[in-house]
Amino acid sequence: MPDSSHLLDRIDRWAIECPTRPAHTSEGRVLTWGELVAQSDALALWMDEKLAEKQGPVAVHGHKQPEMLVAFLAAVKAGRPYVPMDVSIPEQRIAKIVEGSGAALVLTPGEVSEVLSQLPPAEGRKPRRRVEGSDPFYVLFTSGSTGEPKGVVITLSNLTAFVDWLCTEHLFKRAGEVFLNQAPFSFDLSVMDLYGSLTTGGTLASVTKEELSNLKLLYQRLGDSGVTTWVSTPSFAQMCLIEKGFHSGMLPNLSRFLFCGETLAPETASQLLERFGAAGAEVWNTYGPTEATVATTSVRVDHALLTQYSPLPVGYEMPGTRVIVVDESGAEVQEGERGEIVIVGPNVSPGYLKKPELTATVFGVREGQPSYRTGDWGRAKAGLIFFEGRMDGQVKVNGYRIELGDLEANLRVLPEIADVVVLPVQKQGRVESLAAFVVLSGPKEGSDFEVSAKLKGALGERLPAYMLPRKFFFLDAFPMTPNGKADRRKLAERLG
Ligand code: AMP
C-alpha cells in the first residue's frame, strides 16, 4: 500500500528516524538527514519572509552540491516550485530560463550556505503554506523546437503519483538504499533517484561532472558509493561496461538498474545481467517524457524477455494511467498497429509554463484525465508498449533530449550563418552525434576546422556543450526538394 501522507512529511520523517544517516553524498561532502531537514526548514522560513511580496518560483543554479537539495525542499516547503538549473547551461540560456520562469529568486549553493550560516533553526516554526495538491512542485526546462527552452510544470500530485508507483514496484529498503544520481538535477531522470531516495530515507550518491569526465575517478567513486539502486541513462551504463572491472565486485550491494530516457539495447541489458545478475541485480527499462513525470511504463528485463524480444519493449503502463497508441485523428489503433503514444493519467503535467498555445497543441483531456501526446511512434502488443522512434525533430544524444529546431534556431542567429540544417549521425540504430550543414553568409574565412571551431565557440555561449554539433559541413547551397525546402534526405546521404 502506498503511503498516503504528504510527500514532504514522508521526507521529513527520516530526520527523526535516522538523523545521522547520510541523505546525500557528493565530492566527499556528506549531508545527513538531520541536516537536510533542519536546513531546508530554516531556509523555507527565510524564503517565506523574504519573498512575501513576490510571486514566482525559486530558481536554483548549481550542480550536485548538497545545497541544491536543501534549496529544492526549502522552496516547496515555502509553497513555491523550484527550477533546477545545472552549471553546464551557458549564461545566455540561464537568462532565458530565469526570465521565462518569472523566478522570484535565483540561488546558488554558495548563497544557500551563506544565508544558512546566519539563520537560527526553525524550531517548529513553519512558513505560511507549503506546496499542496495541484500546486506546481518543480519546473524543468527542456529543449524547445523554436530555440527557446520550454518549462514543463510538474505538480505535487504528478510527482506523488510517480513516486507511489516507483515505491510499489520496487521494494526499496527503508533507510537502507543508496541511489546513484548520474543525471544533473535539470533533467527529469534525476527525479527518479532524488525522490526515490528522499521518500525512503535513502542516501543519494551524486556523481559530478568532474568524476564523469575522468574514468579513473568515476570508477573509484562508484566503487566507494555502496550503490544499491542504479538510476542512469543506458548510454552511461554502456560507457561503464567498457571497463572490465565494472561488475558485481565493484558494486557488491547492487539490487537493480533502473533505466529511462532512451533506448535500452538488448546487448547492454544482457551484458549487465551477465556481470551483475548472479549477484542478484535486476535490470529495468522504463519509458516516459518529462511532461508525464519521468516514466509511465516499466518492465523487468530478464533472460526470458531478452529471448522473446529484440528490440526490447519499454514496458507495461503504470497502474492508474493509460498508455495508448492512436492514429492521426486521435482514435486508438488496433493492437499491434503503429501510431503515436499518448499518456493519460495523474502523472501528466498541466502543461508548459506560460505557454498556453503550445500547451494546447499536445496536452488535453481524455476519459476525464489529463493527456499528453508524446510525439513518439509506438505499438502496443500483449499489454507491452514498444517505442519506435520520434515523429519529429527531437533526438536523444547520450540520453539528452535535443530538438534539432532548437539548434538550428540558435545557429541561424549567428551573423556568419545564412542557413543551416542539423541532422543526427546514426550508428547502430542510435544517434551518436549531430552534424550541422551550413551555408555561410559571406566568404569562408579560414579552413573548415577553423570556421567550425569559431562557430562552435559562438554556439557554446548560447547552448550547453551536450547540444553542440560534432561536425560542420560547409555548402554553397542546400539541395532542394520539389517544394523548395532544404532536402534533408539528400543531406543525410552525405553522412553515410
Ligand atoms: P525526456 O523528456 O528527456 O525524458 O525525453 C522523453 C523522450 O525520451 C520520450 O518521449 C522518448 O522519445 C525518449 N525515451 C524515454 N524513455 C525511453 C525508453 N525507455 N526507450 C526509448 N526512448 C525513450
Q: Is the CB of 290 under 6 A from ligand 1?
A: yes
- Residues paired with 371 in a beta bridge: 344, 364
Q: Do 399 and 233 touch, CB atoms closer than 8 A?
A: yes
Mean pLDDT of the chain: 96
Query: Which backbone phi and psi does 424 adopt, to 5 degrees?
Result: -80, 145
Q: 97 C-alpha to center of ligand 1: Å?
A: 22
Q: Is the CB of 82 under 6 A from ligand 1?
A: no
Using alpha carbons only, give the angle 270, 274, 279 rounded to the nearest 5 degrees.
130
Which H or E run contains 446? none
Q: What is the pTM of this model?
A: 0.95
Q: Do 152 and 291 touch, CB atoms closer than 8 A?
A: yes
| Per-residue pLDDT tens digits for 335-355 | 999 999 999 999 999 999 999
Ranges of H-type helices in 61-188: 66-77, 91-101, 109-117, 156-169
Which residue is associated with the grid cell 530526520?
Answer: 15
Buried b (16+ CB within 10 A) or exposed e, 420-446: bbbbbbeeeebbeebbbbbebeeeeee
Q: Do 480 and 487 touch, CB atoms closer than 8 A?
A: yes
Domains of the chain: 7-232 (3.40.50.12780), 393-493 (3.30.300.30)
Q: Is the CB of 285 under 6 A from ligand 1?
A: yes
pLDDT at 120 over 90: yes
Residue 261: closest CA among 95, 387, 405: 387
| Per-residue pLDDT tens digits for 210-238 | 999 999 999 999 999 999 999 999 999 99
Query: Which backbone phi and psi does 375 adopt, to 5 degrees?
Result: 75, 10
| Per-residue pLDDT tens digits for 300-317 | 999 999 999 999 999 999
| Per-residue pLDDT tens digits for 396-440 | 999 999 999 999 999 999 999 999 999 999 988 889 999 999 999
pLDDT of residue 429: 81
* Position in ligand 1 atom list of the atom nearest CA 401: 3
Q: Is the CB of 202 under 6 A from ligand 1?
A: no
How confident is residue 496, by pLDDT bands cut at 50, 70 and 90? Answer: confident
What nine digits make up the cell of 225? 558509493
Buried b (16+ CB within 10 A) or exposed e, 395-404: bbbbbbbbbb
Calculate mean pLDDT across residues 65-80. 98
Which amino acid, one-letter code, is at 447?
S
Q: Is the CB of 152 under 6 A from ligand 1?
A: no
HSE toward the beta carbon, residue 6, CA cutoff 13 A: 13
| Per-residue pLDDT tens digits for 173-214 | 999 999 999 999 999 999 999 999 999 999 999 999 999 999
Q: Is the CB of 298 under 6 A from ligand 1?
A: no
pLDDT at 137 over 80: yes
| Per-residue pLDDT tens digits for 4-47 | 899 999 999 999 999 999 999 999 999 999 999 999 999 999 99
How confident is residue 1, by pLDDT bands cut at 50, 70 and 90? Answer: low
How confident is residue 163, by pLDDT bands cut at 50, 70 and 90? Answer: very high
Quick check: helix, strand or coil at residue 390? strand
Give the single-character DSSP code of 171: -
pLDDT of residue 2: 66
What is the residue with the minimal CA distance to atom 8 of ligand 1? Answer: 261
pLDDT at 482 over 90: no
What nine digits make up the cell of 57? 518560483
* Position in ligand 1 atom list of the atom nearest CA 291: 2
Q: Do 312 and 266 touch, CB atoms closer than 8 A?
A: yes
pLDDT of residue 3: 82
For the chain, what percentages of helix, strand and coil (3-state, to nearest 5) are there?
A: 35, 30, 40
pLDDT of residue 435: 97
